[in-house]
Structure 1
Amino acid sequence: MEETHVLLNKVTYHLTPIGCPVMFELDIFHKQVILCKTTFSPLDVFTLDRSLFATVITTLVTFIVFIKQYSIIDECK
């Protein structure tokens, strides 16, 4: 993956003329390579990548909304 990143840097910024449609496509691909690589491994117990992080955040938000709705219902009684 690191080799792909280096090659994309060279092609994108040194070999392609500015404003060329290929430049825009390479730039988009370069950003995807950079962004999809993100992982986090707390204490090397498990790997937290983007999809797991999004799932955890979604679950927490759903749980908070659920608890808030029940607290509103309890206040009305």
Structure 2
Amino acid sequence: MSNDKSMDPMSGETVETDGVYADEDGHEAILKRGDTFPSDVILGKTTWELKGFSLNEAEIDHNQKENTPPRLHIDQSDK
């Protein structure tokens, strides 16, 4: 028995990680974060397993904000 208690995402749930996913029947799909896992044509509602991460930079969403702005150097002439 496996100690892994995590469950694979189901059809209808939101994708959390960009990558290549495969359903129970082996059909693969490239999904992006925010997409919805589709239903399988044959199986209907199914689970999806992450098979690999997206390596194409054009497919990766770069809408990340930095936590803090860069600090500026102020010359105080006291050195």
Query: What interval of TM-score do these two structures reach, taking the shorter chain for normalisation?
Result: under 0.3
Which has the larger strand fraction? 2
TM-score in terms of structure 2 length: 0.24
Higher share in helix = 1
Q: Which has the larger radius of gyration?
A: 1
